[in-house]
Chains A and B, each alone.
Chain A
Amino acid sequence: MAGDPVTRELIYDHYSPALYNIILEVIADNEKAENALAQVFVYIFNDAAAYRQSGDITLFGWMRRVARQMALKVAVGELGDDGTMVSNGSLLFRFTMGLPEGIQRIFRLCYYKGLSKEAIARILGLQPEEVTSQLREAMVAFRKFLNS
């Protein structure tokens, strides 16, 4: 994957729109989102060994996690404290909007802001266990949403 220019182009052409959308969900600014996408692909192509070492199963699963992490890094201090969602109409947007308000807030802070459960608990004045259980509930709901 790392060495062959044709394979690289195929990977870029196939996955860049999906990854760009994932980044745009976290970053409001287009230019910053483009920079994040560039960093993601440079990392993916230069560090093919990282995919093998990660033990991840699908290439897209790994790329998706790398893209979100990179976007969160670029977007530090970008969005409002409630984890405002930028993109609409996407799978996650539709899922998030369907969640009950309390769980939705926790999920937004966790996914779009990349905050830890402890940090979310402090922000919302909850116990970390409550955040954990609500997030678990969100994930069960996401599983059903994905299967529907």
Chain B
Amino acid sequence: MELGHYIESGIIESYALGLATASEIDELQHMRKLYPELNTEIRMVERRMEAIAVTEGIQPPSKLKDRIFQCINWDEKKDAKEKDKSNYTFINIQSRNQDYITVHKWWKLFFIMVFIVSKVCLFAAIYFYLKYQQSQEKLAQSSSRIEYRIPAK
């Protein structure tokens, strides 16, 4: 597309007024990359509109200025407070020794659970082993009784 024709189409003015659609803006950004001189043209149009807008301006009430600046200062104080808080969170008290690793705190719970489960398994193993021995003994006893009875017949 020829640059002169593109500029004459009024696309810059449409963009400056905020009327350009998303696809038109994308196209303009693409054209700005291809033709850097387009930036000068956009600057000229916006400066012209700025000069007229500044001379035609209507003074807003003075109380509005105080309100706006109070609001901004308040926002800043809030941000600063949040920053201070975040400093405590990110203080690095980690050892420099390479022998240590850092893991998430959930791992602590995970290891406790593994420990408890292993203890339960161990207890169950001993319990069932004893049970098994007991039943073996009982079986041995009952079979000897049977052996004893057979000759009695």
Contacts and interface: CB of A to CB of B under 8 A. Distances in A.
A51 interface: no
A32 interface: no
A97 interface: no
B50 A60 contact: yes
Contacts of B21: 116-117
Q: Does more than half of chain B's interface fall in helix, strand or loop, or is it mixed?
A: helix
Given A57-B43, A91-B49, A139-B14, A21 B67 contact: no
Contacts of B120: none
A46 B52 contact: no
Contacts of B59: 16-17, 20
A8 B73 CA distance: 12
Contact of B64 (A24, A38, A138): A38
Interface residues of B, number: 39
Interface in A1-53: 8-9, 12, 14-22, 24, 34, 37-38, 41-42, 45-46
Query: Number of contact residues on A: which range applies?
Result: 35 or more
A138 B10 CA distance: 8
Given A60-B46, A91-B53, A20 B16 contact: no
B56 A21 contact: yes
Contacts of B10: 136, 138-143
B146 to A, nearest CB: 92
A104 interface: no
A70 to B, nearest CB: 11
Interface in A79-130: 87, 89-91, 110-111, 116-117
Q: Does more than half of chain A's interface fall in helix, strand or loop, or is it mixed?
A: helix
Contacts of A138: 10
A77 interface: no
B68 A12 contact: yes
Nearest to B71: A42
A15 B54 contact: yes
Given A38-B67, A61-B46, A110-B19, A146 B13 contact: yes
Nearest to B59: A17
Interface string B79-119: 00000000000000000000000000000000000000000
A55 B29 contact: yes
Given A34-B64, A46-B75, A57-B42, A18 B53 contact: yes
18 contacts: A16-B60, A18-B50, A18-B56, A22-B53, A34-B61, A37-B64, A41-B68, A46-B75, A58-B47, A61-B50, A64-B18, A68-B18, A135-B14, A136-B9, A139-B13, A140-B10, A141-B10, A143-B13
